[in-house]
Amino acid sequence: VIYETSTSELEIIRDISRTFPSHIFFQQRHGPGQRSLYNVLKAYSVYDRDVGYVQGMGFIAGLLLLYMSEEDAFWLIVALLKGAVHAPMEGLYQAGLPLVQQYLFQFEKLVQEHMPKLGQHFIEEMINPSMYASQWFITVFSYSFPFPMTLRVWDVFLYEGIKVVFQVGLGLLRFCHDDLVSFLVCCAAFATYFKESLKLPFCQVKLPFEELLHSLRYFPDEATDPDTLFPLAFSFKVNSSLEELEKEYRKRLDGPNASSSSSKRLLPLKSKTMSRAVSQVLSISNVGKK
């Protein structure tokens, strides 16, 4: 921190005030919380220049700093990203976000497997997980979710690894399943009406689709109550499915037909589009913890 410079310093400084903006430890400008967050993020960007710093890392560092010293938080981030215990997380933050793309592919397939009606509606309405679930994986639910839920996720995550993010994501969708399906039916009906009857320019109409995406990012309090959510989340057995879906994803990336139009449809968004979408999700400066 003292003797090395980082090309990410300005980005880190810009994002610090956006990290847990409503938490008392990080509220004071240049206060102890913000200074510690800067130190840890800059240290990692120097330690691992291939990864450097990416939006979203601040929420992980911030969460850890609430429970440990700067140095311990730094080394735990190193352990997480380099895979000291579980699968390495660094692919969540490397150029193109390759691991995010893999996880979103797997999650989409799991939704179709465990909630086929909802999954089919998502396909019909062209809703893919990159629109609502990117930050779940990038921050391990430490962004925009209540702390009691986030801490329970991290208890399990540190012990069992990334599968809990899939399980909790499925649990959230299952809890709101009927409402989401009804909303999607409404979206389809509205789109048909808009196409056939309305003469207003598209920009003048607020589609239910926008409300749906908001619902997929900000769930009701009862859905995020850990005592309600976690038994539901753990009812999804995903280990074997995740392994098979990872193999399928690799085949689609590396197989001889990877460049065909049908394969392209099944692959996640391209790197630039994905990076832009994630940046938009994580750069909302006026959204705090609820």
Secondary structure of 13-36 as H, E, C letters: HHHHCCCCCCCHHHHCCCCHHHHH
What would be the CATH architecture of the domain defined by 97-269?
Orthogonal Bundle (1.10)
Contacts of 29 (CB under 8 A, 6+ apart): 17
Same topology for domains 8-91 and 97-269, yes or no?
no
Rounded Cα gap, residues 228 and 222, in angstroms: 8
Q: What is the reported pTM?
A: 0.83
Domain boundaries, the chain: 8-91, 97-269
What are the pLDDT digits (tens) for 40-52? 999 999 999 999 9
Question: pLDDT per residue over 21-36, tens digit each?
Answer: 989 999 999 999 999 9
Q: Which of 14, 103, 88 is nearest to 58 (CA)?
A: 14
pLDDT at site 75: 97
Report d(CA 171, CA 183) in Å as an integer: 18
Predicted confidence (pLDDT) per residue in 131-177, tens digit: 999 999 999 999 989 999 999 999 999 999 999 999 999 999 999 99
Average pLDDT over the chain, rounded to an integer: 84
Flag whether pLDDT at 188 surpasses 70: no
Residue 145 CB coordination number (10 Å): 22
Q: What is the CATH number of domain 8-91?
A: 1.10.8.270
Long-range contacts of 268-271 (CB under 8 A, 24+ apart): 268/101, 268/102, 268/104, 268/105, 268/128, 268/130, 269/101, 269/128, 269/130, 271/95, 271/96, 271/97, 271/101
**Residue 243 is encoded by which pair of tokens?**
């392994």
